[in-house]
Structure 1
């Protein structure tokens, strides 16, 4: 039987890039691809190309059983349920169990760098999911530990360009981040790779940057000076709460800076090139491409 590739979270930004590269870069026939989402109505363009669209909800076992049927290779993109501590791990475990029941031959999962003993507040979701996959009876699996996306810089750039200040609790910690599109390309390559192995890749950019270095590059592209201000983690939390974020959410975001400061996102690997055969886009190139967006953030 022709291999069927199933992508969950297909209506999300990463899922869309994975599907694009499966079809356009890896040359997989649309009829061999299943796009699964809680919002299948958003996938009409893929259906028109011949991709099979299915509804999947990780809180609904019946939907997973139906979605995973006949799929040989399944990509589980980690869910966005960050507002209910521990719920995401429950969802992922249910998806793994459904994949086992469906007889999936190869399971792939989007994780994060170094989830064990990480100060990041949602790292246990990833660590627990990886453990559940390793304990499963699925013959082959691939863990894709994705570093932060370039695009995540936009969340900090907006307030920084508005005020001229980037408040950071990361110290001199560095981030080896990578373009979301490159992550999608690497995942697509991992999906089509013939394997019966159990492997873990850490997908990073080719360089790493401190917040001060990121701020300098954004300043150059936007034409507005940004001063990176070092603050304690609690100060960062209170600043976000003061800006309107719920405190639990602010603490999750602040824990990212703690992780950066501890070096949890700094390691550079060659795994992206090993999977794709090409070099990742550079951060400088991406920043330059976003100059217009950065300038539009300046009041």
Structure 2
């Protein structure tokens, strides 16, 4: 029996990529795919392909419940709200889970993060941990994708670091297996298209974990530009990020990534992306080579 699949946040980069893989990689009929967003006009291109577009706002439980009506499987892509002064994002996610329960959704999928338990140094980890707990408490079958850090996240630091020749970090000898956003989207789409209703949790990573120094060496190999890694304290890094014009709360979030890396909480490497998607993952070196001009100027 064909199932109806809904993707929230469909106008975002991950959401669009998941829908494109449903259509083009896994050959899911467009009529079985629902794309939800606060602004449906932003998805005119998907509507033109036959995808059903519905309005849904994570701050409006009724709009979510209406969007989820008649849907078998819902992928909740975590929202971009990261206000450290309240639990806004967690509340949004809990609203979506409650709406799915009321609408009779049979399976919930969610994009979380690796090791989100309360001891995590990452300042927004509880948003993900709390959402996972809400999903499990709902009684709905679930698939949780604990997405590792994207290779694309390196754009936040590398261009400036390459330009100056110095990469300031507090990650120490911690390792990260950066993965391609599109690779993770393919894995998520595979899970969404799968007929299984068994509850599972996957950690999605890239194929190899590197220290900051090893990433810098790869950057030098690809760009020909020497990049010196400078290890500093969390406090010094926070001040440096703030001095670059980043608001304090977001600066603290950025530095908490490094603290998490230093603690070894994101050093894992799994084969979940390749197992789910059926394709080889893009290596970090391939990512750097493909984006050499954007990174090195």
Same-fold call, TM cutoff 0.5? yes
Verify the 8 A CA contact 2:159 2:296 in the aligned structure 1. Answer: no
What SS does the aligned partner of 1:126 have?
A: helix
- 2:124 corresponding residue in structure 1: 122
Gaps of 5+ in 1: none
Deviation at 1:129, TM superposition (A): 0.4
Q: 1:172 maps to which residue?
A: 173
Note if contact 2:159-2:294 (Cα within 8 Å) is conserved in structure 1: no
CA contact (8 A) 2:39 2:55 kept: yes
Which residue in 2 is equivalent to 1:27?
27
Indicate the residue corresponding to 1:152 in structure 2: 153
Q: How far has the Cα of 1:137 moved from its partner? A: 2.3
Q: Which residue is equivalent to 1:200?
A: 201
CA contact (8 A) 2:151 2:181 kept: yes
C-alpha contact 1:221 1:294 (8 A) present in aligned 2: no
Local SS of the residue matching 2:126: helix
Match of 2:138 in 1: 136
* Aligned equivalents of 1:94, 1:257: Cα separation in 2: 31
Question: Segments of 4+ in structure 1 off by > 3 A?
Answer: none
1:277 positional shift? 2.3
> What CA deviation, in whole Å up to 9, does each residue of 1:22-62 have, x standing for no partner?
00001001111000011211100000000001111110112
Q: State the secondary structure of the residue aligned to 1:183.
A: helix
Could you say which residue in structure 1 is the equivalent of 2:257?
A: 256
TM-score (norm 2): 0.97
The CA RMSD measured in Å over matched residues stands at 1.1
- Alignment match, 2:77: 77
- Determine the C-alpha separation between the residues in 2 that align with 1:209 and 1:295: 20
Aligned length: 295
The structural deviation recorded for 1:88 is 0.4
- How far residue 68 of structure 1 moved from its aligned partner, in angstroms, is 0.7
Scaled by the length of structure 1, the TM-score of the pair is: 0.96
Offset of residue 279 of structure 1: 2.5
**In the TM superposition, what whole-angstrom CA distance separates every residue of 1:142-193 from its partner, at most 9, and x where no partner exists?**
0000000000011111210221111010000000110000010000000011
Aligned to 1:2: 2
**Secondary structure of the corresponding residue to residue 110 of structure 1:** strand
Secondary structure at the counterpart of residue 23 of structure 1: helix
Partner of 1:101: helix, strand, or coil? helix
